Chain A
Amino acid sequence: MDHYKFRVVKNHLVQFLVYLALFLALVPLFSILYEVVVRGFSTISIEFFIKPTPTVGEVGGGVANAIQGTLITIGLASLIGVPIGLMSGIFLSEYGESKLSVVVRFLHDVLMGIPSIVIGVFAYALITLSIGFSVIAAAFALSVIMIPIVTRTTEEALKLVPMSIREAAIALGIPRWKATVTVVFSGAKKAIVTGLLLSIARIAGESAPVLVTMGFWRWWFAGFDRPVANLALDIFIFAMSPFKNWLTLAWGSALVLILLVLGISVAARVLTKGRY
C-alpha cells in the first residue's frame, strides 16, 4: 500500500515537472510574440506597406522595399536550393546505399553544422568579390543554408513511404524515376513541403550572411547584380541605429517578418491540403 501511494505521488510529481517545463518553454515564445505584436502593430499603417525605407531625419516611411527584397531573395535562393535539395534527397532515399550516398549524407551533415556567417563569407569570396554586393550573392549564400535542410527532410519523408507503394507503381510499368516523382512523392508531399517551409523560414530570418554578401540597402530592387533590402537585416540595422523613427520601424519589420513566415506556412498548408 505504501508503495502504491509512493507511486501515485511520484506520478504526480513527474506530471507537474512536465507541465512546468512546458510552461517555461512557452513563456519566452508568447512574450516575444506579445511584444512584437503590440509594439509592431502601433507602427503599422498603409504608408508602412507602400513606402520604402525613410532617410535619416525623414518622418514616416515604410518597409515595402524590404518586403519586396526579402521575397526576391527568398525566391532566388529557393530557385537554386529547392531543386538541388529535392534531387539529393531523392538520391539518398531512392538510389540505395553506396559509398557516394554515405559521402553525400556526411557532407550535408557538415553543411548543416556550419555557422551561417561562414557560409556568408564563402559566398562573399566566391561571388561578391567578383560581381559586387548583390542579391545574387545573398541568394546563393541562403541557398547553401537551405540545401541540407531540404535534402534531409526530403530523404526522411521519402523513406517513410512504404516499399510496397513503390513496388506497386513499378509493377504497373511506370519507370522508376516517374514512380518516384509522382506516386512516391504524393505519399510524402506533406512532410516534404513542411521541410521546404522550415528551410524558407530559416533563411527568411538570416541576417549575418545577408550583411556580408549584400549589405544594407534603402532602395527598391535595382537589378540582380545590385543589393535589395531585407527585413531581417533591416531589423538589425534599424535596432542598432539611434534614430527614433528607425527604432519603431524595427518593430514593424519584426512583425512583418513573423507574419510573412506565418503566411508562407499557412499558404503551403492550404495548397498541399489533401482530401484524405
Chain B
Amino acid sequence: MAVKFDIQNLNAWFGSMHVLKNINMKIEENAVTAIIGPSGSGKTTFLRCLNRMHEITPGARVSGKVLFNGINIYDDGVDPVMIRRKIGMVFQKPNPFPMMSIYDNVAVGLKLNGIRDKKILDAAVRRSLELANLWDEVKGALNKSGASLSGGQQQRLCIARALAVEPEVLLMDEPTSALDPIAAAKIEALIRKLAKNYTVVIVTHNMQQAARVSDYTAFFYLGELIEYGPTKQIFENPKHELTKRYITGEFG
C-alpha cells in the first residue's frame, strides 16, 4: 500500500489539556479512512493536526511527527500555508463565503494564489463543480450567492472550493451531520468517486456511514487510537472490547 500519511507519536494539547495521546498510524493513499469514536474523543483535533489547522487555535500545541509523502509537516521550514493547499478540508457545518457568488467561492482559492487568467479560472471552476457533482445544478446560476443554495448543495460547494486548489488529500469533519439523509447520500456517493484520485479522511458519528464509505476505520476513544484496520474487519470482527461495545451502540 502507498502510504500518504505516516503519523508517529502524535500528541496534541489545548492549553494544559492533553487531547491526543501518542497516536501512531499510517493512512493509505487514494483510499477512504474513517475516524469514529464518541464525542470529545479527539477526532476533530486529529483531523486538524493533519493540515496544521490545530495550531491556529490560541494555546493549541502539537508534538510528534506527521509524515506527508515522507516529509514531516511539522519540520522547521515547512510552510503551513503550502501544506494546507495540498491537504484540503471540509467542515462540519457548510461554510461557503456568504458575500461571494458560487463562482467566486470556487475561484477564490486560485485567485488569492495569484491566478488571474479568466480562462484558467473558468475551467477550474467548472472542473471542480463537476468533480463535486454540483455543476449540473448550478451551471446557470454561477453568479448567485453561495448562501442561496440548500444545505447539501452548500456542502458540495465547499467540497468544490477545496478541490479547486488541487489538493492531494481531503479531510472531512462530519460532512453530513448537518444534512438530511438524501443530501447525505449524495455526499457519500461523491466521497466514493473522489477516492479514486484523492486520499480522503472522514470523521463520522454515523457508523453505517463509516461502513458504507470507508476502506479503513480508526476508532478513537478519550484521545487514544484504540483500534485501526480495514473497515470490514473493524465492523465484523473487532479485536478490542471497547471497539465492539462502541460499534454495537452500547455507548457513544
The interface centre, meaning the residue of B53, B56, B82 with most chain A CB atoms within 10 A of its CB, is B56
Q: Chain B 46-69, CB within 8 Å of chain A: the 1/0 string?
A: 000001010010100000000000
Contacting B95 at CB < 8 Å: which of A164, A173, A189, A276?
A164
Would you call B95 and A170 a contact (CB within 8 A)? Answer: no
B58 and A96 form a contact (CB under 8 A): yes
- Which A residues between 229 and 276 are near B, CB-CB below 8 angstroms? 274-276
Q: Which of B81, B88, B96 is most buried by chain A, counting CB atoms within 10 A of its CB? A: B81
Q: How far is the CA of A189 from the CA of B100 in the complex (A)?
A: 12
Residues of B within 8 A of A189 (CB): 99
- A167 is contacted by which of B83, B91, B143 (Cβ under 8 Å)? B91
In the complex formed, the residue of B with least CB distance to A174 is B112
Most chain B CB inside 10 Å of its own CB: which residue of A168, A174, A175 = A168
Contact A186–B99 (Cβ < 8 Å): yes
- A171–B47 alpha-carbon span in the complex (Å): 12
Q: Could you mark each residue 164-189 of chain A with 1 if its beta carbon is under 8 Å from any beta carbon of chain B, else 0?
A: 11011111111110110011001101
Most buried by B among A173, A183, A187: A173
Select from chain B the residue with minimum beta-carbon distance to A162. B95
Contacts of A183 in B (CB 8 A): 97, 108
Tally of chain A residues near chain B (CB < 8 A): 25
A164–B91 Cα distance when bound, in Å, is 8
Q: Which residue of A lies closest to B109 (CB)?
A: A172
Interface size of B by CB at 8 A reads 33
Q: Tell me the interface secondary structure of chain B in the complex.
A: mixed
In the complex, are the beta carbons of A165 and B98 less than 8 A apart?
yes
- The smallest C-beta distance from A170 to any residue of chain B, in angstroms, reads 6
A32 to B194: give the CA distance in the assembly, Å: 66
Interface contact B85-A172, CB-CB below 8 Å:
yes
Q: Does B31 contact A (CB under 8 A)?
A: no
On whether A167 and B112 interact (CB within 8 A), knowing A172-B165, A187-B98, the answer reads no
Contact present for B84 and A170 (CB under 8 Å): yes
The 9 closest A-B pairs by CB, nearest first: A173-B85, A171-B89, A276-B145, A172-B109, A173-B84, A164-B95, A186-B99, A168-B95, A174-B112
Chain A positions within 8 Å of B, measured between CB atoms, are 96-97, 162, 164-165, 167-176, 178-179, 182-183, 186-187, 189, 274-276
Residues of B participating in the A interface, judged by any CB pair closer than 8 Å: 51, 53, 56, 58, 81-86, 88-89, 91, 93, 95-101, 108-109, 112-113, 143, 145, 147-148, 158, 161-162, 165
| 27 interchain pairs, CB-CB under 8 A | A97-B58, A165-B95, A165-B97, A165-B98, A167-B53, A167-B95, A168-B95, A171-B51, A171-B53, A171-B84, A171-B88, A172-B84, A172-B85, A172-B161, A172-B162, A172-B165, A173-B82, A173-B84, A173-B113, A174-B113, A176-B56, A179-B112, A183-B97, A187-B97, A189-B99, A275-B143, A276-B145
